[in-house]
């Protein structure tokens, strides 16, 4: 395994594996014994970075979520896991009532919600301190200053370490970080967005915004990350839910543009040259790029996890990386 440091402050920064394990479906679609086996193998391979959320996976049960955090808590206790594994979770997108959706009935990011939801996450995970806490989705109603101050308050109390943000417009991230800096408060240091080798169209309306798909990495966010190299990018769904390798998982209209076939061709050529799977080439490209990325991979079996773990040791040559980088984009 390889490792990377996230965060700048010596008091809160952490060294984490360059591959993160997503626990979204643990305890729902993936049963507890299988979840434990995947987690055990990840840690055995040197993995130290696990991702969840307080609303996972409400859509599988018709509830409000929390199943994933609860499974991770039971796994931690049964294995004696302490601070050697960094578990990231998120608040803000938990439905307010069972059977509803975060799209139109989310808990939001008020000071009260942040404090109460973080406390419940700590209880489910069985920890005194959340290693990394994300603002899961934007809250257009609550003032940014209230959200910034509330997250910083948890850091000051010692119940949260690092702060992160997911699925926000880049300008909202910068504004929040500027507010924190002006007040001398800790701000967002880890950004989690959808990112992969294929580029998703961001001009189509997103789930949360009619103005476009701000949950996916676009040119504005890449430019921002180049200008702020101390920020860490975690990429969720980097393998497109199996679409790179499974004919029964079509890419869909968001990838219907001229750049997709050119990129797929380059990807296939490099996979053939290396003898690696297409998925492994995608993960290696992300991990070793100009803007370092921590891919967040899901797995419903130990076998699926093994394929992703092997990508950590795949070293692309300069020519192979240049071929992938030069492939046309949207």
pTM for this prediction: 0.96
Radius of gyration of the chain (CA): 19
HSE on the CB side for 234, CA within 13 Å?
Answer: 33
- pLDDT > 90? residue 70: yes
HSE on the CB side for 212, CA within 13 Å?
Answer: 13
Contacts of 238 (CB under 8 A, 6+ apart): 195, 196, 282, 283, 286, 293, 295, 296, 297
- pLDDT > 80? residue 289: yes
Give the pLDDT confidence of 242-286 residue by residue, as tens digits: 999 998 999 989 999 999 999 999 999 999 999 999 999 999 999
Task: Report the pLDDT value the prediction gives residue 202, as an integer from 0 to 100.
Answer: 80
What backbone torsions phi and psi does residue 54 show, to the nearest 5 degrees? -75, -10
Q: Band of the pLDDT at 214, cuts 50, 70, 90?
A: confident
Element (DSSP H or E) covering residue 225 = helix 219-227
Sign of CA dihedral 60, 65, 71, 72: positive
Contacts of 88 (CB under 8 A, 6+ apart): 20, 49, 50, 51, 52, 131, 132, 133, 134, 164, 190, 234
Inter-residue contact 213 to 193 (CB < 8 Å):
no
Give the pLDDT confidence of 134-182 residue by residue, as tens digits: 999 999 999 999 999 999 999 999 999 999 999 999 999 999 999 999 9
Percent of the chain with pLDDT over 90: 90
Contacts of 330 (CB under 8 A, 6+ apart): 199, 201, 257, 258, 259
Options 3.20.20.100, 1.10.1060.10, 2.60.40.60, 3.40.50.300; CATH of 3-252+280-317: 3.20.20.100
Which pair of tokens denotes residue 122?
Answer: 């700590």
Domain locations in the chain as residue ranges: 3-252+280-317
- pLDDT > 80? residue 328: no
Distance CA 231, CA 8 (A): 9
| Least-confidence region, from 101-105, 121-125, 129-133 | 101-105
Q: Band of the pLDDT at 208, cuts 50, 70, 90?
A: confident
Task: Report the pLDDT value the prediction gives residue 213, as an integer from 0 to 100.
Answer: 83
Task: Report the pLDDT value the prediction gives residue 329, as an integer from 0 to 100.
Answer: 56
Distance CA 293, CA 263 (A): 19
Which pair of tokens denotes residue 36?
Answer: 């434990």
């Amino acid at each position: 395994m390889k490792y990377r440091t996230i965060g700048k402050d010596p008091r809160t920064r952490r060294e984490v594996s360059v591959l993160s394990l997503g626990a979204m479906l643990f305890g729902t679609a993936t049963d507890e014994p299988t979840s434990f086996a995947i987690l055990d193998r990840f840690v055995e391979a040197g993995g130290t970075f696990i991702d969840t959320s307080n609303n996972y996976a409400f859509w599988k049960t018709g509830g409000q979520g929390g199943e994933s955090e609860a499974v991770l808590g039971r796994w931690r206790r049964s294995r004696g896991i302490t601070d050697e594994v960094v578990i990231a979770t998120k608040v803000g997108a938990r439905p307010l009532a069972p059977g509803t959706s975060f799209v139109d009935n989310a808990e939001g990011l008020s000071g009260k919600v942040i404090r109460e939801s973080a406390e419940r996450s700590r209880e489910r995970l069985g920890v005194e301190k959340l290693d990394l806490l994300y603002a899961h989705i934007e809250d257009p109603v609550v003032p940014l200053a209230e959200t910034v101050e509330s997250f910083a308050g948890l850091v000051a109390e010692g119940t949260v370490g690092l702060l992160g943000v997911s699925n926000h417009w880049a300008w909202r991230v910068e504004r929040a970080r500027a507010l924190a800096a002006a007040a001398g408060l800790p701000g967002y240091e880890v950004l989690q967005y959808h990112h992969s080798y294929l580029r998703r169209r961001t001009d189509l309306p997103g789930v949360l915004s009619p103005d476009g798909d701000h949950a996916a990495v676009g040119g504005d966010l890449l430019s921002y990350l180049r200008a702020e190299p101390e920020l860490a990018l975690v990429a969720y769904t980097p393998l497109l839910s199996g679409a790179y390798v499974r004919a029964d998982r079509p890419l869909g209209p968001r990838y219907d543009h001229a750049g997709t076939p050119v990129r797929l061709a380059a990807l296939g050529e490099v996979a053939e040259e290396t003898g690696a799977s297409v998925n492994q080439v995608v993960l290696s490209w992300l991990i070793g790029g100009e803007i370092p990325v921590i891919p967040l991979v899901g797995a419903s079996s130990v076998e699926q996890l093994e394929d992703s773990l092997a990508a950590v040791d795949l070293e692309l040559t300069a020519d192979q990386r240049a071929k992938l980088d030069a492939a046309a984009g949207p």
